[in-house]
Amino acid sequence: MNGLWTAEFGSSTGTFGGGVAVFQDGRIMGGDGTYFYLGEYKLKGDGFEAVLRVSPFIDGAESVFKTVGHELTLELAGSLIGESRAIAQGYAREKPDLKFGVKLTKRG
């Protein structure tokens, strides 16, 4: 899973976004236009689990969960599709009633 990935994501609020993430030996680092991401992942066969801290770096930034200026912790479970694609679903611990989904594409 090591490499640079693009992410297309959205939540059950109907809000969507995109960003980039580097997966490297169990760690995740990335971001988009208003948030940066830091976390960890574990591979389990063709699946993976990840915990990701999402933090705003712009005042007043709204997340896909419709929160403004708050750090969020995402818990995700997903599947690898071949060598260059993955999908995952989960939620933010701070908003467990809202769902989150992401499609990842490996770029390098």
Strands of 16-66 (E only): list them.
16-24, 27-31, 35-44, 47-56
Q: Tell me the sheet residues that pair with 3.
A: 23
Convert the pLDDT of each residue in 31-89 to its tens digit.
999 999 999 999 999 999 999 999 999 999 999 999 999 899 999 999 999 999 999 99
Domain that holds residue 40: 3-106
End-to-end Cα distance, the chain: 10
Task: Tell me the C-alpha distance between 107 and 105, whole Å.
Answer: 6
Which CATH number characterizes residue 102's domain?
Answer: 2.40.128.380
Write down the residue that tokens 């059950």 correspond to.
Answer: 12
If pLDDT is split at 50, 70 and 90, which confidence band does 22 have? very high
User: What total number of domains does the chain contain?
Assistant: 1
Total-model pTM: 0.94
